[in-house]
A and B are shown apart, each in its own frame.
Chain A
Amino acid sequence: EPEVTQTPSHQVTQMGQEVILRCVPISNHLYFYWYRQILGQKVEFLVSFYNNEISEKSEIFDDQFSVERPDGSNFTLKIRSTKLEDSAMYFCASSEGRGPQETQYFGPGTRLLVL
């Protein structure tokens, strides 16, 4: 069964460094998302992406964050200058469409630790 994959599974970085989290959505999906989950908290929406454009972003998704689909398969989240509070599990998700019965399929996550 097709699945969303994410790399790396774990990333440790120093505060102020840039990180790029990578995702390979399911191949025929057109809508892509990033969410994050701070330890012990809710899963929070960051951004949605369709047709090579951001379609919606949350307040969390400030200028330090950017997303890109550099080729036909990868979808990346870049954090330009990491802060301690960026430590979280980051999930990529994708869906085929956007109708009322469209399921979002999540990847296994990248655990980011900012020291």
Chain B
Amino acid sequence: SQQGEEDPQALSIQEGENATMNCSYKTSINNLQWYRQNSGRGLVHLILIRSNEREKHSGRLRVTLDTSKKSSSLLITASRAADTASYFCATEGGYTGGGNKLTFGTGTQLKVEL
């Protein structure tokens, strides 16, 4: 598998339900970040979790990181129709002398229906 693969590829839920998306990666990382992308639009940063953290919360978002399994999950609680978007994980793997490139996953398309 490639660095940064999310599953499921697509997820359809009802408003009010929780949505869980998973991300797996292959190499060691400094941090893992989750981004949201509305159709054809820009990337909005949601949350960053460092490699020495196991869980982080931000509003209705909960992110976990298991570096032993090289995986992360993003939980969106009490989903809303406005949460409909694609969600990407991105890993940052180290310093290159100037800036840190992000390696993105394939994304999960979330659809929240009324």
Closest to B43 in A: A106
Which residues of A sit under 8 angstroms from B108, Cβ to Cβ? Answer: none
Minimum C-beta distance from B39 to chain A (A) = 11
Task: State which size class the interface on B falls in.
Answer: 20 to 34
Consensus secondary structure, chain A interface: strand
Closest to A33 in B: B99
Residue among B96, B99, B100, B104 with most chain A CB within 10 A: B99
B102 contacts partner chain A, Cβ-Cβ < 8 Å: yes
Which residues of A sit under 8 angstroms from B88, Cβ to Cβ? Answer: 42-43
Q: Tell me if A44 and B104 are in contact (CB < 8 A).
A: yes
The segment from B12-20, B27-35, B59-67, B68-76 that touches chain A is B27-35
Size of the A side of the interface (Cβ < 8 Å), in residues, is 32
Q: Tell me if A95 and B99 are in contact (CB < 8 A).
A: yes
Scan residues 46-65 of chain A and give those whose CB is less than 8 A from a CB of chain B: 48-51, 53, 55-56, 58
A85 contacts partner chain B, Cβ-Cβ < 8 Å: no
Between-chain CB contacts (< 8 Å), 13 pairs? A31-B98, A42-B4, A45-B103, A49-B99, A50-B99, A91-B42, A98-B98, A101-B48, A101-B50, A103-B48, A106-B35, A106-B45, A108-B42
